[in-house]
Structures are given as C-alpha cells and as structure tokens.
C-alpha cells in the first residue's frame, strides 16, 4: 500500500492505449497535434490565453519564476512551499533570484504577511517582483486557500505592482473539494502551473498557463532549461486522458484520506486534527518516543509506504491506485503498530 505520494500511480490499460494511439509531431517546431490539443484544453479550463506543456511541476514553477523576473529580483513564497523546500535552489541557480519565505498557517500566507515582506524601493535592497501561492498546499497537509485570502493577497500584489503566480500542482483537488472552478481560482493569477502527474494519474507532465506573450517567452526558457521535447504527444495523450477521466473522481481520494485519518484519530495513537484533512493528504504526528525514520521503516516492512512530513511528522497521500479497502487496512496496521 503505497501512500508516499499521489505521484506513484501507474498508467492503466486505457491510458496506455490512448498513449499508443496518439498522433505525434515535433513539438520544438510546435507540430505535435496532441501536445497542442492538451495545451489548448488546459488553457481553456483555466481561462488563460495560452499554455505550455513541460516535463515536471518543478520545471513549470521554475519557468514561471524565470519568465516573471530578472537576476537580482526577490520573490515572496511561503516558508513551507514546494518552491522554497523541494526545488533544489533552482531559483538561484536558474534565475539568479532570491526567495523571501513568509511563514504561513498550514502553508497559507495572509495579506499582511505578504505586504510586510515587500522590500522598500531603495537602491541597496532587491526589488520584490513576484508573489507565489501554493494551492492545495503540500506541506500544509493538502490545505486549501480560501478564495478570500487569494483575493486579499492579489490586492497587495496589484497595489505594489507585483506579479502573482500559483503553484497549482494540486489545484484540481482544491476545485473538487470546494466546487470552485479551476478557472475561478486561476483568474486572480498572472501565471498558473498545474500538474497532470499527481492526483490525475498521468505518468509525466505539467502545464504552465498565462497570457500568450508570457507563454511565448516561457517557451524560449523551456528550451534553455532543456525541456523542449520532440514527439512527446505520447505523453501528452496520457495527460488528456487523465483530465478527461480522472478529474471528477478526485472526490474519492479525499474520502479515502478522511477515512484513513479518522481511523488514526479514533485510535488516539497519532496526532492529527481531522478538520485539517481537506483533500488527499494526511499529515500526522507520532508519539514522542517514536522516531520518524524507524516508524517509516517499520511501516514499510508491514506493507505500508509513507513519507516524512515536516518536523518529525509523517505524510500519507491517497490516490487512484490505492482502494478504500487498502486505505482502511493501512490505517488499521498503523493503529496496531507498537514501537519496540
């Protein structure tokens, strides 16, 4: 029972069939009809002018930063954000920019925190250029940004002439959980990155969206970053299949996460607040005598794969390839587990 991430799903027969039947062409020449179709579909879903298909969520975020900034600029991110923690210092390596991490609550910043982090306009400080928000928030435990916060931060960004980027790797989950359309979320942002390889179950791929002019500039940087692919329509076909078949079903993953969390909660063996389980990610704390590494290794030997969260916490993520039955079984195993 692999609950390490929703990235672990494998394409099933129908997705593989769609991939094998994909019409392809050379995408560096813009001639792959399946990639073009995917880009148009995602741009359309998000209500943006244009979109560009890229190999990963990391590349998509990094392209977004590169395209919004110049070397020496600063970007406001949340302290637990993926961009700040899991992208291997790419902003400094690839864009020559600095990140300014703002603390949030379960990953969510507020407008005051963002406004306080904006640098004054003096020559010896770096210009703040961009604000990034992550929705749902991974290290925040799949937490959803309330629309109100998104709008408040937007007002700050507009007032200070900053660009606004959304890391929407799991925006699909936020949309299914709240009933708010992905385009309603996207409308507040200058650029939005979405992943096809998380809950949607495609083996590869993310999409960055924005204005046509912005995406045209991003296309140049995608080539520079080594992400210009050729007959990648076979991969894009998996993304199209995922969007068509696996978007609405995300509600099932949310239900599985809640059931899993409820079993852990009822046992009083682990620390978690069921109200914090909003989508498909469950982050829980261990009793002080339990060491995270040992717990993860023991759980693995009992057939439950989990990953480490922040500060001694453990993360479980539900997805397409783990059934309700397996999720319940995994939770029971953890409840019956006793550290030696």
Q: How far is the CB of 135 from ligand TLP (least distance, A)?
A: 9
Nearer Cβ to ligand TLP (197/318): 197
Residues 205, 238: contact at Cβ < 8 Å?
yes
Separation of alpha carbons 100 and 84, rounded Å: 9
Q: Which residues have a Cβ under 8 Å from the Cβ of 319 and sit 6 or more positions away?
A: 5, 6, 8, 9, 199, 201, 253, 280
Q: How far is the CB of 39 from ligand TLP (least distance, A)?
A: 17
Residue 253 CB-density burial (10 A; 0-12 exposed, 13-18 middle, 19+ buried): buried
Q: How far is the CB of 110 from ligand TLP (least distance, A)?
A: 19
Nearer Cβ to ligand TLP (167/253): 167
Q: Could you tell me which residues are beta bridge partners of residue 208? A: 52, 193
The widest CA-to-CA distance across the chain, in whole angstroms, is 60
Q: How far is the CB of 53 from ligand TLP (least distance, A)?
A: 13
Phi then psi for 337, rounded to 5 degrees?
-70, 135
Nearer Cβ to ligand TLP (188/315): 315
Q: How far is the CB of 195 from ligand TLP (least distance, A)?
A: 6
Q: Which residues have a Cβ under 8 Å from the Cβ of 280 and sit 6 or more positions away?
A: 6, 142, 170, 173, 199, 250, 253, 254, 256, 257, 317, 318, 319
Nearer Cβ to ligand TLP (56/95): 56
Q: How far is the CB of 236 from ligand TLP (least distance, A)?
A: 15
Nearer Cβ to ligand TLP (169/327): 169
Q: Name the site residues for ligand TLP (rule: CB under 6 A).
A: 5, 7, 56-58, 61, 82, 86, 134, 138, 167, 169, 195, 197, 206
Nearer Cβ to ligand TLP (118/240): 240
- Closest by CA to 161, choosing from 136, 188, 131, is 131
């Amino acid at each position: 029972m692999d609950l390490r991430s929703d990235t672990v799903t494998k394409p099933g027969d129908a997705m593989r069939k769609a991939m094998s039947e994909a019409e392809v062409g050379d995408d560096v020449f813009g001639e792959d009809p399946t990639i073009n179709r995917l880009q148009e579909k995602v741009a359309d879903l998000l209500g943006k002018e244009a979109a560009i298909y890229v190999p990963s969520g990391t590349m998509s975020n990094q392209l977004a930063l590169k395209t919004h900034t110049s070397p020496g600029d600063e970007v406001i991110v949340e302290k637990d954000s993926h961009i700040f923690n899991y992208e291997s210092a790419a902003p400094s390596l690839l864009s020559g920019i600095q990140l300014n991490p703002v603390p949030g609550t379960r990953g969510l910043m507020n407008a005051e925190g963002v406004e306080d982090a904006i640098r004054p306009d003096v020559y010896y400080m770096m210009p703040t250029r961009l604000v990034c928000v992550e929705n749902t928030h991974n290290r925040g435990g799949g937490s959803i940004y309330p629309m109100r916060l998104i709008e408040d931060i937007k007002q700050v960004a507009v007032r200070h002439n900053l660009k606004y980027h959304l890391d929407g790797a799991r925006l699909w989950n936020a949309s299914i959980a709240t009933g708010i359309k992905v385009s309603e979320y996207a409308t507040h942002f200058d650029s939005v990155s979405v992943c096809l390889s998380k809950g949607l179950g495609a083996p590869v791929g993310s999409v960055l969206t924005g204005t046509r002019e912005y995406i045209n500039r991003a296309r140049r940087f995608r080539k520079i970053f080594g992400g210009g692919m050729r007959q990648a329509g076979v991969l894009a076909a998996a993304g199209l299949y995922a969007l068509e078949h696996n978007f609405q079903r995300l509600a099932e993953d949310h239900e599985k996460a809640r059931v899993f969390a409820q079993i852990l909660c009822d046992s009083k063996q682990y620390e978690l607040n069921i109200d914090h389980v909003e989508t498909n990610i469950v982050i829980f704390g261990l009793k002080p005598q339990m060491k995270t590494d040992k717990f993860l290794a023991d759980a693995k030997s009992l057939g439950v794969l989990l990953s480490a969260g922040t500060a001694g916490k453990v993360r479980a993520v539900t997805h397409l390839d783990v059934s309700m039955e397996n999720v319940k079984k995994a939770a029971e195993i953890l409840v019956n587990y006793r550290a030696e």
